[in-house]
Amino acid sequence: VSALQASDPEIAALVAQEKDRQHRTLEMIASENHASHAVMEAQGSCLTNKYAEGYPGKRYYSGCAFHDEVETLAIERAKRLFGCGYANVQPHSGASANLAVQLALFDPGDTFAAIELSDGGHLTHGSPVNLSGKWLNPVTYNLVTDESREDWGHLDYDSVDRVCAEHKPKVLMTGYSAYPRTIDFARFREIADRHGAILWADVAHIAGLIAGGAHPSPFPHCHVVTTTTHKTLRGPRGGMILTDDADLAKRFNSAVFPGTQGGPLMHVIAAKAVAFGEDLQPSFRAYAEQVVANAKRLAGELMDRGYKLASNGTDNHLILVDLRATDPELTGKDAASWLERAGIIANMNTVPNETRSPFKTSGIRLGTPALTTRGLRADDLAEVAGFIDRVLTSRGDAAVIDAVRADVESLCDRFPRLSA
């Protein structure tokens, strides 16, 4: 009997049920992954017991010698992984990393440019319900909306340039939550330089692809880079700030602590170090490449069946299906709920030229990072595309959905989940 089972059977039972759920379903939420046993062991360690406010060698508490070494290892590995000069590994999450950068770079009311939220941005990039939209002044650029254009659904770099020329933002932001194409960081830098803006990339989604060489690096183009550590990087839930600029690095350190956080989560920082160590291995490059190959195959199979994908495909780990083209009645909300009943976990998402509210949406977002960790390869994604098609054309019919569920479970049994 584990310590958890002995002391709290209720929580132990829920953890066991969640473990079983993770085994029996196909995790296709683009922002999720399966962390390794080693990452979870570090996160579940005695490092959780310690206060270590400050930074390595400059703590406000005694007894931090081992914590200094742990954090230094995390920092050094992060720098090697992204080829940059400075890393702050303390942000508790992606949103916390972004908040610290905003505290460091902005005064209240300052203007910054970011993508229109419904085109794939994150709440922390200027949403009216987020601090970034309440206390700052976001101005937005768009994707290419003309469907007759070859680059429909790609970033509209002319609109980036236009919005910067008109509003002279202090900061230009790139990096997205639901963008299936490669980001041209050099082009962003050229625009930022022309308009005197600081260039900030939030690579939360694609960080693992960057680290694994499957997406171009934001360095040396971006002045600041933020990321989460739990998506394609396959680490514990958390955030990180990277830069090559010594002066900015100092400002970010102060903005994280004491600016926006108290004691760092040292057990999570240890788990970040473990994940970065894994990400530095040659096998992680193969993983990143396979994530993209799997997404491309999924995209191709769905398009062959008549589905419309935002930007007509993908270059990275995710695709966005615009359901209006195949079934004008079907919302993203219903599609995600039918898929869940079939054991396929995905999320509803707005799509370019969205006509529904964010609570219903016209699209679903599908990602391959977690399935790839589990060992699925391109031919398996072709099978998954068939499952998705059967569900989306079922009109919610229970018999069809139950039959797909059985097929999903047998596929899952061929790929035992990796996490403890």
Task: Enumerate the active-site residues.
Answer: 51, 53, 202, 228, 231, 237
Amino acid letter for position 337: S
The tokens for 238 are 């958390």
The tokens for 138 are 């976001």
- Among residues 82 and 338, whose Cβ is nearest to ligand PLP? 82
Which candidate, 240, 270, 215, places its Cα nearest to that of 79? 240
Which candidate, 122, 26, 22, 19, places its Cα nearest to that of 346? 26
Q: Which of 27, 116, 202, 278 binds ligand PLP (CB under 6 A)?
A: 202
Binders in 387-406 for ligand PLP, by CB under 6 A: none
Binders in 254-293 for ligand PLP, by CB under 6 A: none
Q: Which x/- pattern over 34-73 shows residues binding ligand PLP (rule: CB under 6 A)?
A: ----------------------------------------
- Among residues 175 and 332, whose Cβ is nearest to ligand PLP? 175
Q: Which x/- pattern over 112-131 shows residues binding ligand PLP (rule: CB under 6 A)?
A: ----------x-x-------
Size of the site for ligand PLP (CB under 6 A): 15
123 is known to lie in a ligand binding site = yes
Chain centre distance of CA 84: 20
- Among residues 122 and 223, whose Cβ is nearest to ligand PLP? 122
The backbone torsions φ and ψ at residue 106, rounded to the nearest 5 degrees and listed phi first, read: -115, 155
375 is known to lie in a ligand binding site = no
Closest residue to ligand PLP: CB criterion? 94
Q: Which of 181, 189, 205, 251 binds ligand PLP (CB under 6 A)?
A: 205
What minimum distance in Å lies between the beta carbon of 316 and ligand PLP? 13
What minimum distance in Å lies between the beta carbon of 148 and ligand PLP? 29
CA distance 34 to 26: 11
122 is known to lie in a ligand binding site = yes
Question: Any contact of residue 31 with ligand PLP (CB under 6 A)?
Answer: yes
What minimum distance in Å lies between the beta carbon of 1 and ligand PLP? 34
Partner residues linked to 174 by β-bridges: 201
CA distance 63 to 69: 12
Enumerate residues 6+ apart whose C-beta is below 8 A from 362: 322, 323, 324, 331, 332, 350, 351, 354, 355, 356
Report DSSP letters for 133-197, one per residue. HHTSEEEEE-B---TTSTTTTSB-HHHHHHHHHHH--SEEEE--SS--S---HHHHHHHHHHTTP
Question: Any contact of residue 225 with ligand PLP (CB under 6 A)?
Answer: no
Binders in 77-116 for ligand PLP, by CB under 6 A: 93-95, 98
What minimum distance in Å lies between the beta carbon of 382 and ligand PLP? 27
- Among residues 31 and 118, whose Cβ is nearest to ligand PLP? 31
CA distance 194 to 189: 8
In angstroms, how far is the first alpha carbon of the chain from the final one?
A: 16
359 is known to lie in a ligand binding site = yes
- Among residues 156 and 202, whose Cβ is nearest to ligand PLP? 202
CA distance 250 to 358: 38
283 is known to lie in a ligand binding site = no
Q: Which x/- pattern over 160-199 shows residues binding ligand PLP (rule: CB under 6 A)?
A: ---------------xxx----------------------
What minimum distance in Å lies between the beta carbon of 28 and ligand PLP? 15
In three state form, how does the secondary structure of 79-124 look?
Answer: HHHHCCCEEECCCCCHHHHHHHHHHHHCCCCCEEEEECHHHCCCHH
Check: CB of residue 234 under 8 Å from CB of residue 36. yes
SS3 (DSSP) at 39: helix
73 is known to lie in a ligand binding site = no
Burial (CB count within 10 angstroms: exposed 0-12, middle 13-18, buried 19+), residue 234: buried
What minimum distance in Å lies between the beta carbon of 247 and ligand PLP? 24
- Among residues 177 and 411, whose Cβ is nearest to ligand PLP? 177
- Among residues 225 and 408, whose Cβ is nearest to ligand PLP? 225
Binding positions are 117, 121-123, 357-359
Name the site residues for ligand PLP (rule: CB under 6 A).
Answer: 31, 93-95, 98, 122, 124, 175-177, 202, 204-205, 228, 239
Binding positions for (6S)-5,6,7,8-tetrahydrofolate are 117, 121-123, 357-359
